[in-house]
Amino acid sequence: MESYFDIGRIVNTQGIRGDVRVVPLTFDPARFEKLDVVDIFYESSPGAARPPIKLTIERVWYHKQFVVLKFKEISDMSAAEKIKNGIIKIPPEKALPLERDEYYIRDLYGMKVLNEDGSCLGVIEDVLQTGANDVYLVKAPDNEQILIPAIKQCILKVDLKGNAMTVSLLDGLREKGRKS
């Protein structure tokens, strides 16, 4: 399950014919139109595990901030109620292709961040999506936080296999009083 990509969360039903409202967890909600089959997983508490299910997308439409899906196997509102809170996941081979110097956000969490001189600045704890460019929130060993914009001037190298990112901190990004 770890290798799957989360692309949406089923939050409610839509109408009486079994459609469901989905909050997209992908930057491109139109990607649902390119899928035939998806897997629905459920977060479970101990002793209440629900197995994942595979559903066939019959129709995709949009309402406000939601993607609305009609699954072939779900024909009415009561059946749709049963899949609420499910996480829609896809295997890596169905993920959108990446351009050069693009990375899946999930691959960056926990990545070690190194300064140009090789010293460890910390690990990526979060990725903030600001609209203009992402910003990596790096937790330093002393629990301080460093915000690093995901721009070419700052991100020198990303080594996914080595789980490390080399950065150049621009003036103003260095923490006051921080010893290097």
Asked whether residue 44 carries a pLDDT value surpassing 70, the answer given is: no
Report the SS3 class of residue 20. strand
Which CATH number fits the domain 5-94, given the four candidates 1.10.357.10, 2.40.30.60, 3.40.50.720, 3.60.130.10? Answer: 2.40.30.60
Output the CA torsion sign for 73, 79, 82, 85. positive
Residue 106: what pLDDT?
83
**Domain boundaries defined on the chain:** 5-94, 105-167
- Beta carbons of 148 and 158 less than 8 angstroms apart: no
102 alpha carbon, distance to own chain's centre? 14
Model confidence over 81-132: pLDDT tens digits? 999 999 999 988 888 778 887 888 888 999 999 999 999 999 999 988 877 8
